[in-house]
Structures are given as C-alpha cells and as structure tokens.
Structure 1
Amino acid sequence: MPIPRTLLATPLVVALVGLTSASAPLAATPATDATLPLLVTRGKAPAAALLTREVPRSTTEPDASAPQPEQPRNQKPLWHFAHAGQPTPEDIAAAPAADSATATSPRPDARSGARSGTGDGSARSAADSPETSHTDYTAPDSLTLRTTGIRRTDHFRAGSITKTFIATVVLQLAAEHRLSLSDPVERHLPGLIRGKDHDGRALTLRALLTHTSGLADYTTGTKGLIPLTPTQAVRTALAEPATLPGRWSYSNTNYVVLGMVIRHITGRSYATETERRIITPLRLSGTSFPGARATLPFPHGRSYTTEGQDVTVLNPRVAGAAGELVSTLVDLDRFYAALLAGRLLPAPQLREMLNTRAADGRYGMGLYPQKLPCGTTVWGHNGRIAGSYVRTAATRDGDRVLTFRVNTDAIADPDLEPALLAAEFCPQTA
C-alpha cells in the first residue's frame, strides 16, 4: 500500500534476492555487492543483506500454457549471501564467536544450517526452515543472520505485491472463461458500486486491474492503519472524490473489489483461491494470507514506521486483497520467475497482464515496467505497508529476478532503489 516516501530516522534492515540464468553466470563479486553498503552509509541502515541465486536453464522448455511448478531435479541453484553493516552490541554479545574473515567473506559454516539441495524445496535444515535449499554457501550465523534480527528466511509483510497474486488469479479465471475482463462489476457484484461519480454497470474488471477505474483509494482516509471489511473499504472510497475514469490513478480499492469478484466467481475467498492456484503448486512454503492474525510467522524480525514506532504486530485487514500477503524473499523470487516464464498463465493472458496501453505505459495488470538507464526494462511490483517496504523486479522472461526489502515504510535515499536495479540488470563495464 503506497505511503509517501519520507526521510528515515529509524534503524532498518535490508535483504535482496536475485535469480539468474546460466547465460549470466554469477560473478565472483556481484555488482549489487558494491551497491549494498550504500544502504548503510546513505540509507542509514545498521545492517543489510544480499542473497543471489543462479539456476541453470533447462534444455527442454516447459509448455508455457500450463503451470510447471516444480524445478527439474537436475537443476541445482547456487546461493550467494552477502552482508554489510555493523551489528549492535547486543547482537555481538549474543552471537557465537567469529573471526573478522567470516564476518565479511561468506564461506561454508555449519552454524548457518547450509544444506545441499535440488531447488525443489526438498532439502532443508531445521535452522533455515522454510525453504532455503542451496548448493553453494551461506554467510555464518554469527554476524549476519542475527544482526539486528535479520535472517534470510524471515517472513515479512509484502504489501501491494499482493496485487500481482490477485491479478494472476483473475487472469486464470479469464483463461477458464469463468469471467471476461470486459465484464462490468455490476454483473458479479450487483449494487456494490453506486455513487455520484460511479456506476458499476459501466465499470469493467479491466479498469480495476489497470487502475483506470476512477475509484478513489480508500487508504487516503484510513492511512493504511484502520482494519476494514471489503464492503467498508468500498464505501469509504465512494465517499472520497473520484479520479477521472479512464485515466491511470493507483488505488487500493480496485484490488479490494477484485478480491470480492474472486469470491463471487469461485465461492471461495481470494486467499483460499490464491493458495490453491499459486501458493501450493509453487510450494511457496513461507507465503500466506494471515486474515485477521496480527502476528508474523516464525522466523521474523521487527518492523518500524519511519517515525520509529514498532508495528511488528499489525492487523492485515488494513490492506485486504490490496496488500495482505506475508511472504519471504525466496518465495517472491520463485513466484515472479514462474509467472514471467509463463508457468502460471497461458500466453494470451500473460500478454494482457503486460499490456500497459490503458495506463499510458505505467502499469499492466498487477505488474509495472521500469526502464533502467542502460535501456533494460524490468517488470515487477513494490509493496508498502506500515513497517515494510518490498520491491521485486525481473527480466521479461523471468530468468533473472531481484527482490529486496527494508523493515520500515521507505528507503531513506530514493536513489538507492534504481541504483540497486541497475547494478543487477545493467551490463557492468570493467
């Protein structure tokens, strides 16, 4: 859920995940490793972490029209985990002894719980559950996984990244001919959208997906802190001034309504339907819709607003279908890689998702493009909710994915996000 960027005065923690193909092998020193310390020096973060993964591409391409949730067992991902920042005195006192080399140079270490695996989630350790299989190495537990409470397996609130999941389910239903994107909202939710400036008989599902409906954002009034039912959220939005229908204007209300449409079509909640169609097939073991549960699953760190308030405990109903999701770095990487590789949607629906014409190039359906200075365009979404900011970006084919997060509402320096994306996706010169 969008929250205006503000200067950060409170400590934060950052973690990133990258997924690359064999055509772009993992460098000895990834470019993002050079950018990562800026989050400490310029972003005022006491700690930061970087996790990259390389997966060889299969010689036999899967059928793009059908989900292919499991990675072939002959593909062994390589993990690279880097760390920047200084631990607190409390972290040092609580951590096992480690020499200076292990604090700065990742290497195999029994304390990390490293295990060889095949990338299918079958190889785990108790220390790293859920899914953390890898074949390369990981940084030691002493000064990275415990620094300021961060672990690469931490659960966190993914905010508006939820929208990509919701859009995927709606497009799957369209592929099954259970709805049409040209359907008016009135057909599925009679009487819901009625107001001075809106009529559900003229408002289409496509307009909701692309944020061109004109519906106001209900979080303008709630500030993303007041739990509401979907119906209450819609009524709150209808009481706000409308934006111009047909013009792009980001509104969380659009995806709350889409969540209601999913229930009407399937007879199941958006959470249940997303779990059945995406989370379970892809084995996203750290991803869930918590409903009204205000606590995060274990393991997790702390979450802070930019004013320093601890909001680790938060009722997810403040976001609903627009931003309720809880996830992990590995799971988000896996989801976006599968989506863009055509494993979740048939080709026509994936093209619809990536079509940005309705939103003047700004937004597709649950995804948006960003053109980097080098000319490369990446696709993904960000997520902002009280105590958490997340960003995922990927190449169009899903071969390379990067996900990073901070445990507060925003990054202190807004230039750091595009710098991180450029470091990962733009060719590096010597």
Structure 2
Amino acid sequence: MPLLRTRLTTLLVMSLFGLGTCVSDTDVTDVPGGADVARTEAARPAPSLTARPPASSQPSRTSAALSLLVSDARAPGAALVSRTPSSSRFESAGPGIRRTDRFRAGSITKTLVATVVLQLAAEGRLRLSDTVEHHLPGLVRGHGNNGRLLTLRMLLSHTSGLYDYTAAVSAPAPTTPRAALRIALARAPAPLGSYRYSNTDYVLLGLVVKKVTGRSYADEATDRIIVPLGLTGTSFPGERTALPSPHGRAYTWDPDSGGPRRDVTELDPRPAGAAGELISTLDDLDRFYSALLGGRLLAGPQSRELLDTTATHGAYGLGIYPQRLSCGLTVWGHNGRISGSYVRTATTADGRRTLTFRVNTDAIPDASLESIEQTLLDAEFCRSGEAPRTRP
C-alpha cells in the first residue's frame, strides 16, 4: 500500500515547516491512559535482517530495521514505541530521542480531525454527504472550484480534487486557513472524485468544525479525544513556535545536495493548521490509534466509515489509510512529515497491537524511507507463528 507523502515541508520550512546501537527499554505492564503521493514501487527487502541466524546476541528484526533509519537513511536519531494490551516497549537508535519527548506529528493531525467530524456525524450535527457550500457558503469558488459539488466525505477521503496549497512552493507561507485556501483556489482542481492527497481538504474540514460547533477543531479534538484518553503529551500549538518540554532537537537539510544541517526545532505551526499542526509523543500516538481502531472513539457505523476505502480504490479511508504487509496482514494508521520530523503510526484492525516510530528530521530520501518503513512494519507485525488478524 502507498506511503502517503504528508509533505508540509517545503512551504513551511521558511516560516515554521555514524550507526547508533539500539537501546530497548521494556515495560512489562501497560502504559496507563485511556488519541502524500502513493508508493508505486515495491519496498526492497533488507537481506541483512533475514540472513542472520537466530541468536540471543543479535538484535531483533525490529531493532535492526530501526537502526537502518540512522545508518542507511542518515537520520540523526530514530525511536519507536510498540504497544499491546499487556505491555509496551521503547527502542531507539542514534542519540537525541527520549521516550517522553514531544515532537511535531504533522499530518497525523488529520486522523484526529477526521475522528471529530465522524463524531459530529454520529450526533446528527452534520452529514458526510453535506456539501462544503452548505456549511461554508461562497467560500470555494473560482478557477473551476465549486463547493456545491464537494461533500465532506470527499474532503475526508482526498477525492475533492482540490489543489494542495503546500505544493505552491513560490507562495508565501499562509498563517490563516483562508490564506491557505486562496493559494489552493487560485489553481484548477483535479477531476472530481479522483484520489489526490491534499492538505487543503483538511484545512476546509477545520473550518467546517468551527462553523458547526462554534469552537475550533483544536478545542473539539482536545475535549473529545485528548482529555478522555489521557494524552498528556499531545496538544495543538496554535501560534506557539516552541515545543513543550521535554523535547529534543529537530533538523532539516537538502538530502539531494547534502547541504548543511539546520535546526528547525522552533517554527511557526500556523501554515500547517488542521492539516498538520499536532504535537504529540510516541506513547500518546499509540494510545490514540489503539483506542480509535479498538472502538473507543467511534460507534460501529462511523468505525466502518473510517475504514471505507471504496472511493480511493483501497488507498485511503477517512483520515486513515491501510498498508498490507508481507505476511498478508493489513495495518491501519497515518504518517506525518513536517519540517524537522517524520512519524508513522500503524495498528492492527482491532487496535490490539500498535507501533509508532519517528525520526528527528524530514530529510530522508523517499526511496530509503519507503523501503525501511516497509521493512520495519514487516519486522514488527509479521512475527513467526502469528496469523494475520483482519476486521470482518
């Protein structure tokens, strides 16, 4: 399945946007608390992860895959937290990332926004078949764009055809949702109903939430998701450029030219908005996706809507996407890529096993990231003797 490119990088960076040994810190009890263009080539296998005979002195396949993010992809540091109902496990490679660190989670924001919209649908306060024009009259017009033809379901599934405002690299970085929309609506859309990942879709959804509830998407997600699940390391920064403590450093550079590394720990998150401003931790993202797929945040009809990929021919649901692994298991989740950070969360369809990993840079070549991510998810979820779990 595709690795979605949640690039809030080139546009945002102006205003915001050696091999380390893996170290494992394992908890035997559960952590308390209870919240993109498609890949077109197959991930390359990593022979070094399969050729080693089992031995207690060798790192696990997951640890070895995590280390590749530092040795092969040249990330300064990498880390993960794996969670099951009875345990959680922290591992890191390279220096600079601690388990408790806050970091920018980029487009993982979209899953929280989608969850809020689905909850509002369950409450009868909106319908996924509602048009954008119904909630935001006159806003989406011009250059072939027409809010009368766009439904909320299209926004959630990236089938609106709206131009992705973050792709306009020559435009000034927008600091308001309407400024982002002006960039997008100055371009003609793609064909209606075609799958085209666009951050503009979720900027609009943020405005819809505000119109329906009278409160911001950040306030709604905080009260509906973050507080009930006890996600104490998760927040929406608004205009705040600094990360909450504790946190490490975030870096970017040009992976093609090999230019100097720049510290982008502090940045203006406003251009990301409802498409990617979230700050979180490894443990909190595990808890959120586990609760979401486990049925704690959505009722049955909305849970089914969440995972409906019919409109995108299997590529994307509503704020979440599937990835099929080498063992036949399909995991669900999202990734986030913003200046100085890349993060990916994946969970089984029942929410019982979840993995979140991150690196403290966005400057990893796409080919390396695609291959290593596939290898890492295969290593973690496709363990010998375990049959794939699927949701009926």
After superposition, what is the alpha-carbon deviation per residue over 1:315-354, rounded to whole angstroms, capped at 9, x for unaligned? 1112000001000000000000000000000010010010
Task: Summarize the Cα distance change of 1:83–1:194 in structure 2 as closer, same or farther, 3 Å threshold.
Answer: closer
Partner residue, 1:233: 180
1:2 to 3, 7, 10: 7
Provide the secondary structure at the position in 2 that maps to 1:39: helix
- Give me the whole-angstrom Cα distance separating, in 2, the residues matched to 1:410 and 1:12: 18
Give 1:205 shift.
Answer: 0.4
Q: Is the 8 A contact 1:363 1:369 kept in 2?
A: yes
The answer to whether structure 1 residue 211 and structure 2 residue 158 are counterparts is yes
Are 1:327 and 2:280 matched, yes or no? yes
RMSD between aligned residues: 2.9
1:84, CA displacement in angstroms? 3.5
Residue in 2 aligned with 1:39?
A: 69
Secondary structure, aligned partner of 1:378: strand
Q: Structure 2 vs 1, CA of residues 326 and 305 (structure 1 numbering), >3 Å: closer, same or farther? A: same
- Give the 3-state SS of the residue equivalent to 2:292 in structure 1: helix
CA distance in 2, matches of 1:46, 1:79: 24
Q: Is residue 245 of structure 1 aligned with residue 192 of structure 2?
A: yes
Provide the C-alpha distance between the structure 1 equivalents of 2:212 and 2:98, rounded to a whole number of angstroms. 39
How far off its partner does 1:195 sit?
Answer: 1.2
Superposed displacement of residue 12, structure 1: 11
Q: Is residue 14–residue 405 contact of structure 1 (8 Å, CA) maintained in 2?
A: no
Tell me the equivalent position of 2:382.
Answer: 426
Alignment of 1:261-276 (within 5 A): 261-276=208-223
Q: Distance in 1 between matches of 2:323 and 2:26?
A: 17
The answer as to 2:118 corresponding to 1:165 is no
Deviation at 1:243, TM superposition (A): 1.0
What are the superposed Cα offsets for residues 43-90 of structure 1, whole Å, 9 maximum, x if unpaired? 23454444434433xxxxxxxxxxxxxxxxxxxxx34333444xxxxx
8 A Cα contact 2:19 2:67, kept in partner: no
| Gapped regions of structure 2 (runs ≥ 5) | 1-5, 11-17, 31-55, 255-260, 386-392
Larger radius of gyration: 1
Which residue of 2 is the match for residue 82 of structure 1? Answer: 91
Taking structure 1 as reference, are residues 222 and 309 closer, same or farther at Cα in structure 2, changes over 3 Å only? same
* Secondary structure in structure 2 of the residue aligned to 1:402: strand
TM-score by length of 2: 0.80
Greater length-normalized contact order (CA 8 Å, ≥ 6 residues apart): 2
How many angstroms apart in 1 are the aligned matches of 2:188 and 2:22? Answer: 37
List per-residue Cα deviations over 1:237-280 (Å, max 9, x = no partner). 00123111100000000000000000001000010011010000
Q: Percent identity?
A: 59
The 1:185/1:408 distance shift into structure 2, 3 A limit, reads: same
Q: Does the 8 Å contact 1:17/1:330 carry over to 2?
A: no
Q: Per-residue displacement from partner, 1:335-387 (whole Å, max 9, x unpaired)? A: 00000000000010010010000111100000000011111110000001111
Residue type of the alignment partner of 1:189: L
SS at match of 2:108: helix
